[in-house]
Structure formats: structure tokens, C-alpha cells
A and B are shown apart, each in its own frame.
Chain A
């Protein structure tokens, strides 16, 4: 019975996302939906901190200069539980980041979509299992 129930619950899991999902802060007030970003950069640091993790990357500009950007992401705790560590995104990793720039004009953004150069998503894992 218990196992049957677990399977049933898991099978409708995608429809059951009823738990409230709060961001730690209001993203729409920090980032500007009228300033979409698409950056191709090289990771220089990954700050695995709460309440939000930050990916630092160097982005080469068309004129050859390099601009340092920081990209805001989610709390890292669940990544640890899924087996990711700081080594999972080493320095030098090339990424494509799509998102939005900060309203104050800083070279800071929210990464709405993070992909490796081969188009694969970062960190995406299959859904967990209810027990």
C-alpha cells in the first residue's frame, strides 16, 4: 500500500506543485525585464552562498576588452543534496547565460537560462521521488 501510494503520488507530481515557492527577494525590483541579456562568458568563480548563489564570469566584448559579470541564481542547498559541489562548475567553464540586467545598470544579472556550449542545461536533474 505504501509503495503503491508513493508511485501514485510521484506520477502526478508535476501537477502537484502546490507548495508555495518564494524567492528570497523580489527579482522584478532588482532586474529589468526591458534589459534582456545574452552573455557568452567564462566562469571565474562560483559563489555557493545563501540566500542566492552567484556565478562570476568574464565576457569578451566585440572590441576585445573583457567585462566581469555576476549572475544571480538559486540557493545552493538543494544542489548539494543532489550531489553537486563547487567542483561541478569549475573556473574556465564556458557558459551561455540568458536573463535580465540589473535596474541600476551594473554588470549584474539574473540567469533565467544557463546552458553549456553544447546546449545542455546546467544542473537540471529529474524530479525526486516521494516516499
Chain B
């Protein structure tokens, strides 16, 4: 951890959230489940606590992870690596096949080691030099955005998704149809105008923001702020703060729907449990168009001074044939959260549409 940081820019959204904490009902702790509050002095674990005895989650964390969302097929039902597995080269997208590739037991298993890397290397060779041509993209490593530049919590998990299957359950027939319809629409209309571009490109929400909050690909950082009756989570990508009341108030009426849903928190022992409902039917999760009946349950547990264990369950009977759950660790970082200010610098929207209009004009001229 040798991050040098610029001067002191905290996310504006967190500052916006502060007055809400000030308005928290003074008696809010009384509405918390009585059995949930442990006596801080008696706590054996060295986790920070707030004045009311709850674990203090305040801080800036990275949820970047080397663990894939779905388990590599060659791991079967294996949920957790041993340190020896990692030493033998297993892990990440390679899954459990690396040890066999290193010589020994034979049977690389389905998927095999290094499949992804081989596929990538074969693409786009410059015919003049015989070398791989430059990608039509900036080099992520030149901007510190390679996955290995991020601070990542160590994990022995083979996949973020838990359970013996380690992957998303099948989509329901109606969800398959919604997905097919969406893809068909996009094939025809994705370049019509700004409104037909993905929510991420429009700076509305980033696909991994959730909930459940998944690694963002880069800038996988989030800040948790905590006050009486509230917990707030600001994700660096893309600019949003989820303000989570923990004072026992009911959910919003069902007809009030929000991009990130309507979260309500409560304490179960030292675990903060957040149930989120009131989603729209306009977002996708893991490429599946979800419904406004989705319910996401998240569990935050501060396992030590630097680590938050984050567990979640997604239940959307209109989208998946059964609920699915996942788990990852967040690790504290020595850095502020930086403002993302996506709209302000989003030249890409105009540039992309301009590029597409040029393509269409050229195609029309060639007819």
C-alpha cells in the first residue's frame, strides 16, 4: 500500500449525503432490533465500532477481485482453493486446470488452462510486421487501469457466485424473450440517438453498480459512510450514492421505482443486512433484463479492521428460475474516492454518434 494521493477531494455525493445524517431521528437506535446490538467493550474482535455499538463500516474500500463471477467449469463443485492449489497455478479464469497443465496428473478438464489468453493473442495481426496490431483502444496499463493495478482483497474462492453450481441459474422463458427482444431492438436502433445508447454510456448507471455491487472492471472503489439511522454507500463508478435507512421505516410505495431500488437496512448481530426492492424494469444484471419485482439482499460483515465480507442474494422469479447468491471481500484502501463527473466529460456520446452518422453517410454514398 504505497498509494500517493492528490489533495483532498472527497466525492461530492458523500458531502450531499451528510445533511441527511444530520436529520436522522434522534431515537433511531431504539427502532433497531434489540438483540442486534452488542456491547462494544465486550467485543473480542478488533473491529471498529460506532458510539451506538454497531460495527463501523466507514471508510474507502476496493471491491476489485481476481475471482470470476461464474466458476470456471474445470473446478466442478469446488468452491474454495487451498493455498497449495494457488501455488500450483490454479486460480482466476484458469480455474482448477492449471495444475494438470503443469504436468502431473493429466486430464486438464473442461475448459483447459489459458483458453482466454490464447483466444486474445490470435486476434488482429498486422500483415506488414507479423506483430499483433494495436487495438482500437487505449492501453489500459498506460492509465493504471489494468486489473493488476488495483488493490484487491485476497480470496480463495473459485467464483463470486456461491453454491455447488457456481454460476447463474437459467433464465425463465419470459426473461429469454425479453433478452432476445432487447438484442433485436439494439441491432436495429442502438445508434438512433443518445436515448438508445446503454445506460453506462449515458452516464446514468454503471452495469456493475447493482445492487448487488460487483467489481466494476476499473475504479472498483466505494466509500461507506455511517451515521445514526443511516448507512450510505458511494461507488466511484459512476457517481451514485445509495442512502440506506436503518431506522426501521417501511419501503417506499410499490409504484415508486428507482434505478438502484429502495434499500432498507437492519442489524443482525454484527452484520448489516440490506434489503432492496422497488427496482425498475429498465435495467440489466449480468446481461439479463430484470423485473421490477427483483429483491436483492446484501449482508455486510466487517471481519477485521481492513476487510468487509460482502454477501448477497438476488431473487427475481420473473428473470431467473431460482435465486442466486454471491460473496466477495472488500479491502480498505489509503485513498479518497475521486469524483467521477461522468456527464461533464462525456464527449464520447457525441463522438460515437458522429462516427456512426459518418459510417451511414459513407454507406449511402456507396449505394
Interface size classification for chain B: 35 or more
Which of A110-131 touch B at CB < 8 Å?
A: 110-114, 121-125, 127-131
Tell me which of B218, B306, B347 contacts A78 (CB under 8 A): B218
Smallest Cβ distance from A72 to chain B, in angstroms? 7
A36: nearest chain-B partner, CB-CB? B134
Collect the chain B residues with CB atoms within 8 Å of residue A78's CB: 143-145, 149-150, 218-219
- The answer to whether A74 touches B145, judged by C-beta atoms less than 8 angstroms apart, is yes
Q: Is B314's CB within 8 Å of the partner chain A?
A: no
Q: Is A104's CB within 8 Å of the partner chain B?
A: yes
Give complex CA distance A85, B4 in Å. 10
- The answer to whether A18 touches B92, judged by C-beta atoms less than 8 angstroms apart, is yes
B87: nearest chain-A partner, CB-CB? A8
Known A-B contacts A8-B87, A102-B351, A130-B153; A16 and B134 likewise in contact (beta carbons under 8 Å): no
- The answer to whether B137 touches A27, judged by C-beta atoms less than 8 angstroms apart, is yes
- The answer to whether B345 touches A16, judged by C-beta atoms less than 8 angstroms apart, is no
Collect the chain B residues with CB atoms within 8 Å of residue A5's CB: 83, 86, 154, 156
Q: Is A49's CB within 8 Å of the partner chain B?
A: yes
Which of A85-108 touch B at CB < 8 Å?
A: 85, 98-100, 102-106, 108
Smallest Cβ distance from A1 to chain B, in angstroms? 8
Which of B142-176 touch A at CB < 8 Å?
A: 142-156
Tell me which of B67, B98, B219 contacts A18 (CB under 8 A): B67
Collect the chain B residues with CB atoms within 8 Å of residue A123's CB: 142-144
Q: A25-B349, A73-B142, A77-B338 are in contact. List 8 more A-B contacts (CB 8 A).
A: A15-B89, A18-B68, A24-B346, A49-B341, A50-B345, A85-B6, A128-B152, A131-B152
Collect the chain A residues with CB atoms within 8 Å of residue B219's CB: 75, 77-78
- The answer to whether A29 touches B150, judged by C-beta atoms less than 8 angstroms apart, is no
Give complex CA distance A53, B41 in Å. 49
Collect the chain B residues with CB atoms within 8 Å of residue A39's CB: none
Smallest Cβ distance from A27 to chain B, in angstroms? 5
What are 13 A-B contacts defined by CB distance under 8 Å? A15-B93, A15-B98, A17-B148, A18-B66, A53-B143, A72-B348, A81-B5, A82-B3, A85-B6, A124-B141, A125-B149, A131-B153, A131-B306
Binding site for A on B (CB under 8 A): 1, 3-6, 64-69, 83, 86-87, 89, 91-94, 98, 114, 117, 134-156, 191, 197, 200-201, 203, 207-208, 215, 217-221, 236, 238, 306, 331, 333, 335, 338, 340-342, 344-349, 351-352, 354-359
Known A-B contacts A33-B136, A52-B348, A83-B4; A20 and B342 likewise in contact (beta carbons under 8 Å): no
Collect the chain B residues with CB atoms within 8 Å of residue A16's CB: 66, 91-94, 147-148
- Residue interface bits A45-70, CB-to-B below 8 A is 1, else 0: 00101111110000000000000000
- The answer to whether A17 touches B86, judged by C-beta atoms less than 8 angstroms apart, is no
Give complex CA distance A98, B359 in Å. 23
- The answer to whether A31 touches B136, judged by C-beta atoms less than 8 angstroms apart, is yes
- The answer to whether B143 touches A76, judged by C-beta atoms less than 8 angstroms apart, is yes
Tell me which of B83, B138, B236, B359 contacts A8 (CB under 8 A): B83
Smallest Cβ distance from A97 to chain B, in angstroms? 10
Tell me which of A1, A52, A98, A125 contacts B144 (CB under 8 A): A125
- The answer to whether B331 touches A12, judged by C-beta atoms less than 8 angstroms apart, is no
- The answer to whether B351 touches A108, judged by C-beta atoms less than 8 angstroms apart, is yes
Give complex CA distance A24, B143 in Å. 14
Known A-B contacts A112-B137, A128-B151, A131-B1; A74 and B142 likewise in contact (beta carbons under 8 Å): yes
